Amino acid sequence: METELSKKLGIEHAIFGFTPFPAVAAAISRAGGFGVLGAVRYTAPDELKRDLDWIEAHVDGKPYGLDVVMPAKKVDGVTEADVEAMIPEGHRQFVKETLAKHGVPELAEGEASGWRITGWMEQVARTQLDVAFDYPIRLLANALGSPPADVIARAHDQGVLVAALAGSARHARKHADAGIDIVVAQGYEAGGHTGEIASMVLTPEVAEAVAPLPVLAAGGIGSGEQVAAALTLGAQGVWLGSLWLTTTEAELHSPALTQKLLAAGSGDTVRSRALTGKPARQLRTVWTDAWDDPAGPGPLPMPLQGLLVAEAVSRIQKYEVEPLLGTPVGQIVGRMNSERSVQAVFDDLTRGFERAVARLDRIAGRGRS
């Protein structure tokens, strides 16, 4: 599975794996793909340093990358307290009542909620980058628009390729104009923040819009057949996130959530603003239903919603309150039916890819292999 981009990066398979877990990222790179560590949860530079050290020690010299969340538009001097003050009391009350209704226990005194808005603010992302640029990362991806010009320049100075996610051709062209190197075309069926255009339509549209820049297809890809389809559509590789959540290397630390993921079908996700205020695909739960209910107050815009629900989400996760327990995940969750190692998932992808190519060759009347 060799494309111009995979050759450039020196990887065997044009399969990029996005994951918040260092062990998964390293295993993807070792398997011949390209592991990309999601950095958003690292608010402390030391923790990111520790995990990048771990990857360095376990990646067998294979290339890997980092994904940050860095807004291109800078909002100077805005603190978390400023944002907190913008949340209406009625919304706080709704969170309280919804949690109480489902018996979600309080956190212990002094216990911090996990996710904070700070991970989404530029100064934190810049601290992450200061750490990351000391490591031989080969790719820097940004999930929220193009990175600022100086970050792109710094990456290029160090020989680091820059990737950005796009949900439309227009969005992708803006990235290209900003000087990035790779566009990740994120289809409707993808987990996390995503637009309304499905991968089948989006992938070729973005590939044509930014050619000759390489495009990675994201959304709906969890088998070798789907990898082959995405490459057929003009992508130079695929970007998979959801599929790794149920690998044995993943550290979800929630058996109940893993079970929910293994049991879920492709129809059990929803594109909801419940998590961050922007539409993001995730497991449909009693919690997302409450936010999407027209009778409720509805989600606040980003970044208010994320801040509003941060503690609630921590409590739901910590106490594994099953009906409310969710996670960002794509429609491909219907195919995630067993816990397997990253290597086993990878073998499945590459074997399925070969089968799909042979099948298409037969249909096209080419060499029957």
For residue 4, give the DSSP letter.
H
The binder of a second copy chosen from 43, 199, 272, 288 (CB under 8 A): 199
CB 238 within 8 A of CB 363: no
Provide the angle, in degrees to the nearest 10, between the axes of the packed helices 224-232 and 342-363: 50
Smallest distance, a second copy to C-beta of residue 44, A:
37
Three-state secondary-structure class, residue 243? helix
Q: Does 354 bind a second copy (CB under 8 A)?
A: yes
Question: Alpha-carbon distance 45 to 50, whole Å?
Answer: 9
Answer for which of 67, 181, 205, 311 binds a second copy (CB under 8 A) is 205
**Residue 364 in contact with a second copy, rule: CB under 8 A:** yes
CB atoms within 10 A of CB 295: 6
Contact present, 301 and 347 (Cβ < 8 Å) = no
Contacting a second copy within 52-111 (CB under 8 A):
none
What tokens were used for 115? 């996710």
Q: Which of 107, 178, 200, 310 binds a second copy (CB under 8 A)?
A: 200
- Examine residue 228 and tell whether it contacts a second copy (CB under 8 A): yes
> What residues form DSSP beta bridges with 328?
282
Query: For residues 195 and 202, what is the distance between their CA atoms, to the nearest angstrom?
Result: 10
| Size of interface with a second copy, in residues (CB under 8 A) | 53
| 277 interacts with a second copy by CB under 8 A | no
Q: Applying CB under 8 A, does 262 fall inside the site for a second copy?
A: no
CA contacts within 13 A on the Cβ side of 218? 30
Q: Which of 189, 276, 316, 321 binds a second copy (CB under 8 A)?
A: 189
Name the one range near a second copy by CB under 8 A: 51-59, 156-164, 213-221, 306-314: 213-221
Integer Cα distance of 110 and 193 in angstroms? 31
**Cβ burial 22-48 (10 Å sphere, 16+ → b, else e):** bbbbbbbbbbbbbbbbbbbebbeeeeb
Write out the binding residues for a second copy, residues 288-307 only, by CB under 8 A. Answer: 294
Tell which one of 50, 74, 96, 359 touches a second copy (CB under 8 A). 359
Q: Does residue number 274 form part of the binding site for a second copy (CB under 8 A)? A: no
CB-CB contact of 187 with 217 (8 Å): yes
Should residue 246 be labelled a site residue for a second copy when binding is judged by CB under 8 A?
no
- Out of 145, 204, 279, 303, name the contact with a second copy by CB under 8 A: 204
The rounded distance, in Å, linking the Cα atoms of 275 and 316 is: 13
Q: Indicate whether 353 belongs to the interface with a second copy (CB under 8 A).
A: yes
- 142 touches a second copy (CB under 8 A): no
Burial class (CB in 10 A: 0-12, 13-18, 19+), 368: exposed
Nearer to a second copy by C-beta: 233 or 324? Answer: 233
Please list every residue from 9 through 38 that binds a second copy, using CB under 8 A: 14
* Residues near a second copy, by CB under 8 A: 1-3, 14, 168-169, 187-189, 195-202, 204-205, 219-221, 223, 225-226, 228-234, 265-267, 294, 331-332, 334-335, 353-354, 356-357, 359-361, 363-367, 369
